[in-house]
Amino acid sequence: MSIDVMLEQLTMGFGQTCLIFFMTLLLSLPLGMVVYFGRVSKIKLFSWGVKIYISIMRGTPLMLQLLVWYFAPYYLWGMNIGGYKLTAILLGCSLNYAAYFAEIYRSGIEAIPQGQYEAAAILEYSRQQTFFRIVLPQMTKNVLPSVTNEVITLVKDTSLVYSLSYVEMFAVAKQIAAAQTTIVPFFIAGAFYYVFNYVVAGVMEIFEKKMDYYR
């Protein structure tokens, strides 16, 4: 197989990698904030439930979670999982990363001095106004480096979906390598991942510079 054909097939697989990456981010970033609010809820039972969820998500391998999300509906309810693969992948990845983002958000919010809240109270800001006008912008700046690390990790974690036989870039590289008995597809896939991560890091750096006015 020529390099051109390999590139064509890997590029098609890369499209699925991008789909998983962007859909996971779209779902997990806002869901992480919801999980954070549950984590700090004054309802103890609810708060402890969210803490257990975060502990499980961070304490078990993502690949294991993907396998559970995919096969559990079949073993528990006899569900036809033929067309369920992408849904299971997005559920597994989004819920896993939401747990990490929730803890990142918590660290960013807790880093804001108490005086900021007191000043908002003096100005008669509501809790919603305080959060969206004062807390959220500062929190965003505080957590951007940590979020960048997680986003870069997500790019590489998309390769784990091969465990569900989902055809994305790493799965394509593995198939070509096995059929052609060559390691070249892995090097090409590695270059794709590296360039993708380089672009992601560059975009996140632009966001960090945009937030410099909060210094």
> If we measure between CA atoms, which residue out of 213, 80, 29, 27 comes closest to residue 138?
213
User: Residue type at 39?
Assistant: R
Q: What are the tens digits of pLDDT across the range 99-148?
A: 999 999 999 998 888 888 888 888 888 888 888 888 888 888 889 989 99
Cα 157 from Cα 39, distance rounded (Å): 25
- Identify the burial level of 117 via C-beta atoms within 10 angstroms of its C-beta, where 0-12 means exposed, 13-18 middle and 19 or more buried: middle
Six-digit token string for 14? 């890369």
Which string of b and e fits 84-101 if b means at least 16 CB within 10 Å?
bbeebbbbbbbbbbbbbb
91 pLDDT band, cuts 50/70/90, is: very high
* 194: CATH: 1.10.3720.10
- Residue 112 domain boundaries: 3-214
For the chain, the domain total comes to 1
